[in-house]
Structure 1
Amino acid sequence: MREVRALMVEHLIARYGLAGLFLGAGFEGETVTVIGGLMAHRGLLAYWPAVAAASAGSFVADQLFFLIGRRFRGHGLVRKAQAKPAFAKALAAFERHPVIFTFAFRFLYGLRTVSPMAIGTTRLRTTTFLGINVVAAAVWGLVFVSLGYFCGQAVETLFGRIHALAPLIGGVVALAVLIGIAGHVLHKWRGDA
């Protein structure tokens, strides 16, 4: 039964994996893209199409957020984003080094989502953002898919060790849950007494 489920999952990944990678790279980011690289390492996705899907997803999402910032500057959605500290950080970094920041924001933790919207509120030309976004998205997709692809052996080794220790880990987790329940019951009992 386990082999049947594994084959079904592999079939789904082979059929819809690139579309999932495209969407995941655009909306979630690095984690999905690294997983796409792992899937390429396992042979479930082809490497270069995985890089292309991740890059395209990142490009489309960032272009969309830029256009939202550009078109809806005064709208509540953009004003709500402007109230966040990350928005101010993004604008400050952009003002210091506009081209470098426009290229690098997707690699900066905590600034990936808000930055294209913040840049959209500036005077940067749309065509300039478009050109930088194409190159940056391609580099980003290549880096994170490659990270998953080339680290695939290490991840497989780690999961193999974890799989071998599954009964021990399961026992420890069950014991922790029982201790937690007992502590909760004891706390409630003492509180009611």
Structure 2
Amino acid sequence: METLGAPGAGLAIALENLFPPLPSEAILPLAGFTAARGDLSLMAVLIWTTIGSVVGAIALYAIGAMLGEERMMRLAAKLPLIKLSDIEKTQAWFARHGRKTVFFGRMIPIFRSLISIPAGVTRMPVATFLLFTTLGSAIWNTVFVLAGYYLGENWTIVEDYAGVLSNVVIVLVVVAVGWFVVSRIRRRDKVTR
């Protein structure tokens, strides 16, 4: 951001979409703090970080589109404990709720980036994908940038609270995966008896 200004913040967010370990929860408040000091324009930061989010999302959408449904089904067939009917149900669910999933998924740590892949796999219309990605990303970015802007020197507080949210999401994902694996193994064991 020091070298490139607001476009640098956008570039950082685009990279964060591609490499989720880069935390937008740290980048965005820092960009807001930088704008509060007068080094960057607040509006430019909001615009560029949203552009960065969309660019990163498009790249992941393209990966999902290249993967495609057929290839994904072949990969899923090789995974233990996964049934093709699971994938079919997930695709049907995404077909019904894809817009909401993309929109709200932009505001959930970890899933922010990953939601673009199933959108690409299912070939969600690009214009629809871009609209809901832009709206969801703009809200997420605005909340974090403004938090950094108004907290000033204390902008790191945002990262602490966001870290808690990320940890909650990770725990929920681990619990859900654990429940899925245990229930599948139990079901498989009942069938083999």
- For the aligned pair, the TM-score class normalised by the smaller chain equals 0.5 to 0.7
- 1:26 — aligned with what? 14
Shift of 1:137: 2.4
- Where does structure 1 lack aligned partners over 5 or more consecutive residues? 1-12, 158-193
Contact preservation (8 Å) 1:14, 1:45: no
SS of the aligned residue for 1:40 comes to: helix
Work out which of the residue numbers 41, 48, 52 in structure 2 matches 1:46.
41
Shift of 1:115: 1.2
Q: Residues 147 and 155 (structure 1 numbering): CA distance in 2 closer, same or farther, change over 3 Å?
A: closer
Whole-Å separation in 2 of the counterparts to 1:30 and 1:56: 17
Shift of 1:117: 0.8
Whole-Å separation in 2 of the counterparts to 1:34 and 1:27: 16
* CA deviations over 1:22-77 (Å, ceiling 9, x no partner): 111122223211211111112111111011111110011112211221123338xx
SS of the aligned residue for 1:147 comes to: helix
The one-letter amino acid of 1:25's match is I
RMSD: 3.3
Whole-Å separation in 2 of the counterparts to 1:37 and 1:136: 18
Contact preservation (8 Å) 1:103, 1:133: yes
In the TM superposition, 1:85-124 aligns within 5 A as: 94=94, 97-124=97-124
Highest CA radius of gyration, 1 or 2? 1
Whole-Å separation in 1 of the counterparts to 2:4 and 2:141: 18
- 2:57 — aligned with what? 62
Q: Residues 35 and 115 (structure 1 numbering): CA distance in 2 closer, same or farther, change over 3 Å?
A: same
Work out which of the residue numbers 15, 29, 37 in structure 1 matches 2:32.
37
- 1:160 — aligned with what? none
TM-score between the two structures when normalised by the length of structure 1: 0.59
Shift of 1:94: 3.8
SS of the aligned residue for 1:119 comes to: helix
- 2:134 — aligned with what? 134
Contact preservation (8 Å) 1:26, 1:61: yes
Identity of aligned residues (%): 26
The one-letter amino acid of 1:26's match is A
Contact preservation (8 Å) 2:65, 2:123: no
Stretches of 4+ moved more than 3 A in 1?
A: 90-96, 153-157
Q: Residues 32 and 155 (structure 1 numbering): CA distance in 2 closer, same or farther, change over 3 Å?
A: closer
Q: Residues 40 and 56 (structure 1 numbering): CA distance in 2 closer, same or farther, change over 3 Å?
A: same
Q: Residues 138 and 156 (structure 1 numbering): CA distance in 2 closer, same or farther, change over 3 Å?
A: closer
- Where does structure 2 lack aligned partners over 5 or more consecutive residues? 17-23, 158-193
Contact preservation (8 Å) 2:57, 2:116: yes
Shift of 1:15: 4.3
TM-score between the two structures when normalised by the length of structure 2: 0.59
Whole-Å separation in 2 of the counterparts to 1:99 and 1:21: 27
Shift of 1:18: 1.7
* CA deviations over 1:82-141 (Å, ceiling 9, x no partner): 99x9x9xx9697466322111011211221221101221124222211221222222222
